[in-house]
Amino acid sequence: MPISHLPTMMLVIGYCVYWLELFIISPGKSHTSFLAAGLFIFLCVCILSINISKLKYIQNDIRNFLALEFLSKGIVVTGGVLSLAILIIACKAALLPPHLMQEFDAINYHITIPKQHLLMGAFAHIPWSLADLYFLPVDYALAPYWLVTELPNKFPQFIFLLGLLAVVKGLLKELGRGDLLSKMLMVFAILGTHCIAIQMGLAMLDLVLCYLFLAALDSLLKGRIILCAIEFSFYFWSKSFAPIQIGLIMVLLFVGVYIFRRRGFRRIGLIANEHLNVGLQLQHQVNLKKGIAPFIIMSLLIGGPFVGKSLLYANTPLFPFYPGVVNFSKKIDQNSKAWISLKEKAEQAVATKDQYGSGRGVGEFLKHFWLLAVPEKGVNNRYDYPVGLVYLLCLLPFLRILFNSLKNNEILFLPLLVVLFWLTWWLGSHQSRFLFIPLILMYISVISQKKFQTIFFQLGIILSLSLVLLSVYRAHRGDFNKKAFEVIRSQDKQLLEMAKIYKGEGIVILDDFDVAFANFPVDVRNINSVFVIQRD
C-alpha cells in the first residue's frame, strides 16, 4: 500500500465501521466510537514503518535541488515557503468545526444525514429529507471520523488534500516526469489555484472526490487493480450525476478513439512526447479488463445500498433524476402530499444546475474561458469561485498540445479526458468546483512538458501562490485563536443547548433542516425549502 493512497484506506475503514456503528455499536447515539479512527491510525503507523526505507528519495530530491539552476532554486524555495504557509492556514481551519457559509452543504446534509441515521438506528429514509435519497457513500465513510469528536469535525478532508498532492506527484513520476522541479511546480499549481485553495481546510467534499479519481488513475497505471476498483467505485457512486457523467465520458472516449484510429491516428500516449509502446498499450488494456469484475463487486457494496434506497423510496435508480420512472416500489402512494412534494423538490434540485454561468450558447462558451478565471462580484463570479491565474497560464500551452496532437495524428489520453470532462461540465452545473479533475489533468499535461516550464511560467505560479496565500489568510484570520465552540453559528449553539435538556425520548420537531449539531433525532416541518419534503 503506497503512502499516497492512505486516504483510500480511511474510506474503506470508515465505510465498514459506519455500518457496525449504525446497527451494533452506536445505534441511537449521536457520536461514533474511536474504532475507525483507531484502526486508521494503526494502519498509518504500519504503512509508514514499512515504507520508511523510501525516505531515501528525500536525499535524491536534495541532490536534485542542489543541481538546479539558481533561479529555479529560488522558485522552489519561494514556492515551498508560500505553500507551507497555505497548508498551515488550511490545517488550522480544518481543526475547527464546520461553520462557514461555504460549508452549508456539509452542515445541511453531508454530516446531518449519517448522524440522523445513527440516532434513528436505521438506514430507512428520513421522511423529511430530500438529500437522504442522494448518493452519499463517501459521506457515510467519513462519518465515523467526523462524529468521533464532541463537535463535528472536518479534519479528514485535510488528509485527502495531502493525499491529492502526493498522488499527483506519483502520477508525474509514472508519466516519466518525476524530476524535482516538475513535481514542485505541480504542487504549487494545485495550491495556487484559487477555486481549489478556497476549499482547503473546509468541510466541502470536492477535493475528496478529485483525489479519488486521480488516485484511481494512478492505481490503474501502476497495475493495482483492486485499489483502483475501490477508488473508482467510491468516485463513481459519490453523486447521483456521476454515473451519468462518467458513462457519457466513456462513450465519447471510445467513439473518439475509434474515429481517430479510422482516420489514421496510430501513435498513442498519455501525455505529449511520451508514446506508449504496443506492450504498454496491451498491459493497460489487460488492467482495464481485469478491473471490471472488482468494480462491479465494489459497486454492489458501495453504491448498491443507495441505488436500492433510491428505487425503494423514489422509484428511480438515480435520485433526484426522474422520480417515478420505474414502478419498483408498490408501497408508494402517488397521490400523497409527500410523494407530490418529493417529485416537486427533486425537480427543483435538478434545476439548480442552471443557477450558475450565463447560458450554454456558443458565445457564452467562448467567453467562459476568460470569465471562469476572474472575479466579477467581490471575490466570486458567475461560476461561483474564480479559477485563477494558474489556469490562464496553462490554457494556451494546453490548447497548443491539443492542436499539435491532431496535427501529428496522436491520441493523447490525458488531454482527451480534459476535453471530455470539460464538455460534460458544460452540459451540467457550471460551478468551478466541478472542474477540479480536468484542471489538474490540464496542469499535468502542461507541466510535464519541459518547454513550457519557462521562467515567466514559474514566476506566474509564484504570483498566484502569493495571491492565494493572501486570500486564504483573509478568509480565515477571523477564526485565528478562537476555540471550537466560539466559531459555530448561534443556531448550532442552540441545538447543543437543546441536547442538554433532551430526555432521550421521541423525535424533536424543528423548523430548520441544517441540524448537524443536533444530538437528538429530528423531524423538520413548517419550512419551505428544496431540501424538505412536505407531508400531511
| Predicted pLDDT at 27 | 87
The SS3 call for residue 238 is coil
| Cα–Cα distance, 276 to 269 (Å, whole number) | 5
Query: Which of 161, 285, 145, 308 is closest to 220 using CA atoms?
Result: 285
Cell of 175: 508519466
| Predicted pLDDT at 56 | 63
Contact yes or no for 516/93 (Cβ under 8 A): no
Question: What are the pLDDT digits (tens) for 96-138?
Answer: 999 999 999 999 999 999 999 999 999 999 999 999 999 999 9
Cα dihedral 67, 69, 75, 81, rounded to 10, equals: 40
- The set of residues, in sequence order, having a beta carbon less than 8 Å from that of 204 and lying 6+ positions away, is 102, 103, 105, 106, 157, 433
H-state helical runs in 303-388: 304-314, 337-351, 362-371
Contact yes or no for 387/373 (Cβ under 8 A): yes
| Cα–Cα distance, 113 to 123 (Å, whole number) | 10
Task: Record the pTM.
Answer: 0.96
| Predicted pLDDT at 58 | 74
| Predicted pLDDT at 534 | 94
Low-confidence ranges of the chain (pLDDT < 50): none
Sheet arrangement for strand 274-275: 274-275, 267-271, 410-412
| Cα–Cα distance, 157 to 207 (Å, whole number) | 7
Query: Which of 151, 164, 306 is closest to 240 using CA atoms?
Result: 306
Contact yes or no for 172/16 (Cβ under 8 A): no
Question: What are the pLDDT digits (tens) for 297-319?
Answer: 999 999 999 999 999 999 999 99
| Predicted pLDDT at 62 | 82
CA-based R_g, the chain, Å: 24
